[in-house]
Chain A
Amino acid sequence: DGGITQSPKYLFRKEGQNVTLSCEQNLNHDAMYWYRQDPGQGLRLIYYSQIVNDFQKGDIAEGYSVSREKKESFPLTVTSAQKNPTAFYLCASSIVPTGGEETQYFGPGTRLLVL
């Protein structure tokens, strides 16, 4: 099956702890994205990457970090600097944006909760 997988489905973070969310895709997409979803709000972009070893900050990058060592993988680390991390995190991928019409495809999400 082609698609995007995210793990774990649920993640619990203790205060002061860094946690890493996994995102893997086998769609052969070059671009990958991380979004945060809070109730009653639209999706907010945390980070995006168009190519291996390159990524850019989105609107709410503070307290988060990413890496892109492989085309298929784009892990997100929620650091202790993120004071309100409780949210639903969504990973997406697409072909490289060129003409603006590219569709983003989403993984099933990871719900992060603070203990």
Chain B
Amino acid sequence: AQSVAQPEDQVNVAEGNPLTVKCTYSVSGNPYLFWYVQYPNRGLQFLLKYITGDNLVKGSYGFEAEFNKSQTSFHLKKPSALVSDSALYFCAVRDYPSYSNYQLIWGAGTKLIIKP
């Protein structure tokens, strides 16, 4: 069955340190992977996506993510965290073409807290 796991409910990082938010997935077709960020009481903002090609994807606000097919992972990273990065982060996958190509499968979210 298709699924997305974000194994950490919360990640705490000191400002200026590198951050990683983990995501693993299970699909039967080709994975198209997405990261979104949500600030309190706001909608989701698109950060980046992996479709094909280079395994390292660069996105908005200095974030990047690395696709690892053998480990079925798509971890979100940033070299130097800012307090303003504190938010809820969602990973999502579209299992194409095996699953309904309209639907994204969502992880439960990881709360990122950056401490000054």
- Which A residues are within 8 Å of any B CB, using their own CB? 4, 6, 31, 33, 40-45, 48, 50, 56, 58, 88, 90, 92, 97-101, 103-109, 111
Contact = CB atoms under 8 A, between A and B. Distances in A.
Contacts of A99: 96
Interface of B: 4, 9, 30, 32, 34, 36, 41-46, 49, 51, 90, 92, 94, 96-97, 101-109
B108 A41 contact: yes
Contacts of A31: 102
Contact of A109 (B32, B42, B92, B102): B42
Contacts, number: 66
A74 B96 CA distance: 26
A42 B109 contact: yes
A90 B44 contact: yes
A43 B101 contact: no
A43 B106 contact: yes
Given A42-B107, A42-B109, A101 B51 contact: yes
Contacts of B103: 45, 48, 58
